[in-house]
Every structure is written in C-alpha cells, then in structure tokens.
Amino acid sequence: MAVTSRPGGIKITEFSSICQSCAMPFMKDEDYGTESDGSRSNIYCTYCYQNGKFTDDNCNVEKMAEIGAGMMSQMFGMPLDKARMFMQNQISPLKRWSGRIVPSCQSCGMPLFSPEDAGTEEDETPSYRYCVYCYQHGAFTEPDLTQDAMIEKSAPFIASQLEMSLDKAKEMSKVFTSTLSRWK
C-alpha cells in the first residue's frame, strides 16, 4: 500500500480515482497495479505498475500522452492534436510526473491545484474532496444535481474545446465522471 510520510509523522494512505501515471480511470479491481509484496496499488494501474515497479521505466509525459491520445482519438472521435493536448493536461499533474497527487473534485473532476480551487467545509476549512464551484460551507451548491444533468451541462463545452461530436463528448464525460465518489 502506498503510504506517504507527512511532517509530524502522520501517515496518510494515498488513493486516486485515476491512475497517477497514465490517467486511466479505475473502473474495477483488476485495473489496479500491484506493490512488491503483492498488495494492490491504490494509485497506479496494472498497465503502468506491477510488483512495485513501473512497467516502462523510460516513459515520459510526452510518450504517455501520445499513447493516450491515440486511444482517445479512436474511442471518442477527436482530432489527434486535440487529443494530445487533452492528454498532456491530464497526465502532467499526476504523481508519477509531478511528484504529488493533485486531488480532483469528486463531483465535477476539476483538479484542485491550489487552496482557492477547493470548496469549503462547514467550519470554513478547505475541502480536499470538492471544488469551490460544487461545494461551499459543507454543502453542494446544487444539491439536486444529477450526474446526467452535469454531463448535459459540460458536454457542449468539451465538444467545442476538443472538436468532437456532442454525443461523443457526453460519452467521454460519462466515463470520467463515473469514477467520482459523488456519483458512485
């Protein structure tokens, strides 16, 4: 199990809803990689990480984005250069490349890079689960929002950004948002 030492000796268990090397969303148990003692990795997928080691030591962000872009472009019908840009944005903040886990909003998927991106709990401390747009003062800003309604709202933006069809944008949004804890 991946454990990080924090100053003060408090150990926290790391977890992520996507692989922190290639950005693949974890859908099922078999998607997770393994540590050297055979236990399950909480942050890396089986394609990237086995027996406590990366399967490809010489990989870098560009190489990883290229592989991911090919798959995304085929699956969701977006131009390869847009897919490459999208994958670079997805992959470069991941722990393998940035050295830290950037939490993402478990409602909309937005990465929480800085405290200003984070929502607030009831006692006004920053939430590391939800972003400022989704969650304020310990409650969802839109408590009745459903996963489908959120997809409907975000799909036109994704479609125009990535030059893909609205249907494919919805499909892609569904895959990504389904790993978020608010919708599980």
- Smallest gap from Cβ 9 to Zn ion, in A, equals 30
End-to-end alpha carbon distance in the chain:
23
The region of 71-79, 93-101, 132-140, 167-175 touching Zn ion under the rule CB under 5 A is 132-140
Provide the total of helices (H) and of strands (E) in the chain, helices listed first.
5, 10
- Smallest gap from Cβ 24 to Zn ion, in A, equals 5
48 lies in the site for Zn ion, by CB under 5 A: yes
Collapse the DSSP code of 131 into the 3-class scheme (helix H, G, I; strand E, B; otherwise coil) and give the result. Answer: strand
- Smallest gap from Cβ 180 to Zn ion, in A, equals 9
Cβ closest to Zn ion, residue 119 vs residue 169: 119
Could you give the C-alpha distances from 164 to 79, 140, 169, in angstroms and in order?
8, 30, 7
CB 14 within 8 A of CB 40: no
- Smallest gap from Cβ 113 to Zn ion, in A, equals 13
Binding mask of the shown chain, residues 51 to 80, with x at each position contacting Zn ion by CB under 5 A: ------------------------------
45 lies in the site for Zn ion, by CB under 5 A: yes
Burial 45-75 (b: 16+ CB within 10 A, else e): bbebbbeeeeeeeebebeebbeebbeebbee
Distance, CA of 12 to CA of 154 (rounded, Å): 33
Which residues does residue 53 pair with via DSSP β-bridges, in sequence order? 50
19 lies in the site for Zn ion, by CB under 5 A: yes
22 lies in the site for Zn ion, by CB under 5 A: yes
Binding mask of the shown chain, residues 79 to 118, with x at each position contacting Zn ion by CB under 5 A: --------------------------x-xx-x--------
The residues that touch Zn ion, with contacts defined as CB under 5 A, are 19, 21-22, 24, 45, 48, 105, 107-108, 110, 131, 134
